[in-house]
Structure 1
Amino acid sequence: MITDEQRAARTARAVAAAVSAGRDLGLSFDEPEVLYDVFSVIVRLSPLPVVVRVPTVLPRTTTLETQLIDQRRELAVTGWLARRGHPVVPPSPLVPAEPVQRDGFSMTFWQFVEHDKEAEISPERGAEIVARLHAALREYDGDLAFMGGLIPFVPDGLDQLADRPDLLEPADLDRARREWDVLRPLFESEAAFTRAFPGATVQPVHGDAPGYNLIATPDGELCSDFELVNRAPVELDLPAMGAEGVAAYNAAAEQLGLREADERVLKALGALAMLQGVACLAMAPELPMLLEGLKPMIEQWRETPFAGAGVGSQAKPAR
């Protein structure tokens, strides 16, 4: 496991890279301010309204080359939404909307927004915002990959955990691999998915629990963190909402002329989301807080029926 000293040194390197990149882009600022430090170090270049996101804890399947592709997609989608007036945190207008790679990091520059720390976004309100986001994204025609980097991430994470019984018990790893064998054929390509779930909606989606990636500001809520934006079933954005959130999403979707969530797809993607959580344990050596943070989800996963009993039997086999 990484030590506190090693993590502090990693953060310092990320901040130094953000400062160096910002100055090379012609920005004049005082002291950098670290706003957040978990999977990414979020640095404000005060007093400018500029925030730099520097990812520091990433799956082994992510490289500087794949980061460049993903970050360009994120900047393109959020810029497109912002230009259409959709409430998102936009790329910074003070620098080119292009990732910057420096000292082993790949970073992006964003507009700083004031947070309303007293505001609370209810699950129902979050679900309505996600439905409106889906309605807006239906018209986006830029290049996006199906399911993004989600598919290679799961098996690689499980492979890493094979040598770490201290992170995941062998019996749990065996179950996770058997569940992956059930789910993989359903999501390995868009064609496979549409054969398995005919009639389901595939379109651009946020990709990372958008109900939790909302920022409350004095002027309203903004969608943020589109790092996993991709083409996928709309249900990919819904498993974290719970039953009440999905019901609120369906009500908003009906008003917007969208299809309601497909229960079969939602169940399959709920199982996939849990496997993603299990695979995330492979990153715990670089981010030890994941051990405690993922513990409730792992316990819930152990108590749920095996995915093959409720997922594979409800979908047509993908051939």
Structure 2
Amino acid sequence: MSGSTDPDRTARALAAAVGAGRDLGLDVAEPVVLHDIFSVVVHLAPSPVVVRVPTVLPRGTTPEGQALQQKRELDVLAWLRAKGHPVAGPSPLVPAEPVAHDGFSMTFWEWVDHRPPAEQDWNAHADRVADLHLAMRDYPGELGFLTFLGDVPAGFDFLRDHPELLHPDDLARALDEWDELAPILTPEGFAAEFPHVPIQPVHGDAPSYNAMETPEGVVDADFELVCRGPIELDLAHLSPEAVAAYTTRAAELGMRAPDERVLTAMNSARMLLLISVLSLVPRLPILADGLKDFIEQWRARG
């Protein structure tokens, strides 16, 4: 278990995961908490099932919006698995639907035997992201456009009343940058600004980082922010070397290279999202340290 800062919240999420699993007929004799930051992730051992229970949600999230996005994630991963792309997909032992239990909405996934890396590397497996984009390109289901960026204004609204989390001068700058960027973060605005750049289904949250090493190879996971957008969204904040590795692999697959202007815009959007996440520090205090370096880099660019 890592990152827990609220034992009561963790205990309630664990109890909800176990209760929901038993209601679905699973053997849940030895549950183990694997991860605990934004979500409590529970292996319902001995069943080969993992439950993700989101516990710290973006401000402004509604139950309906959360369930819709969870269903979209389940559908995308089921589709990718059916295509043969290596993913950690929905558990075949339960219906592929979000499950509401004791005030939480959770999703059930197949257990994947994996080896956590000794040290997390944001840039690892960047070349594989091109393979993921090729696999996702023809996904026929409905997805929102850059959906999760819609959480940014609610985060900034909270920060207006909490200067202890972000200095008012920093917030004013962030709001100015958001006002300048927001018009291109809609399908119409993006198409007008970048008329020759296509959009497609994308992972949404650093797929080079959200991958697991298994005895059979690397599998893609954690598609909570899956949406439609430019492929550059999935390359935001990667090193130049990682972007180059992606570009080389994309060329081998007959796919386009990243557009520098779009990548710059997605880097800015991702940074503003991270700044807005400071609004969650009261619920998850460890975020303050986790976001410190990003905020300092942003300030230094000003």
TM-score bracket, normalised by the shorter chain, equals over 0.9
1:48-197 to structure 2, matched below 5 A, reads 48-117=47-116, 126-150=125-149, 152-187=150-185, 189-197=186-194
In structure 2, what is the equivalent of residue 298 of structure 1? Answer: 295
Determine if contact 1:100/1:108 at 8 Å carries over to the other structure. Answer: yes
Determine if contact 2:122/2:206 at 8 Å carries over to the other structure. Answer: no
Instruction: Tell me the distance in 1 between the aligned counterparts of 2:120 and 2:161.
Output: 41
Give 2:264's match in structure 1, choosing from 267, 292, 305: 267
**How far 1:141 moved relative to its partner?**
1.0
Of 44-53 and 124-133, the range deviating more from structure 2:
124-133
Give 2:253's match in structure 1, choosing from 256, 266, 277: 256
SS in 1 for 2:237: helix
Instruction: Tell me the distance in 1 between the aligned counterparts of 2:192 and 2:277.
Output: 29
User: What TM-score results when the alignment is normalised by the length of structure 1?
Assistant: 0.91
CA-based RMSD of the aligned residues comes to 1.7
SS in 2 for 1:241: coil
**CA offset digits 1:136-155 (Å, max 9, x no partner):** 011111000111131x2111
Give 2:229's match in structure 1, choosing from 228, 232, 248: 232
In structure 2, what is the equivalent of residue 314 of structure 1? Answer: none
**CA offset digits 1:56-93 (Å, max 9, x no partner):** 00112212111110010000000000111101101101
In structure 2, what is the equivalent of residue 44 of structure 1? Answer: 43
Instruction: Tell me the distance in 2 between the aligned counterparts of 1:134 and 1:233.
Output: 10
In structure 1, what is the equivalent of residue 213 of structure 2? Answer: 216
SS in 2 for 1:240: coil
Percent identical residues: 55
**Cα 1:160/1:120, change in 2 over 3 Å:** closer
Instruction: Tell me the distance in 2 between the aligned counterparts of 1:183 and 1:77.
Output: 28
Letter in 1 for 2:138: E
**How far 1:29 moved relative to its partner?**
2.4
In structure 2, what is the equivalent of residue 317 of structure 1? Answer: none
**Cα 1:124/1:7, change in 2 over 3 Å:** closer
Determine if contact 1:119/1:216 at 8 Å carries over to the other structure. Answer: no
**How far 1:191 moved relative to its partner?**
1.4
Q: Any gaps of 5 or more consecutive residues in structure 2?
A: none
Determine if contact 2:28/2:45 at 8 Å carries over to the other structure. Answer: yes
SS in 2 for 1:175: helix
Determine if contact 1:124/1:249 at 8 Å carries over to the other structure. Answer: no
Q: Any gaps of 5 or more consecutive residues in structure 1?
A: 306-319
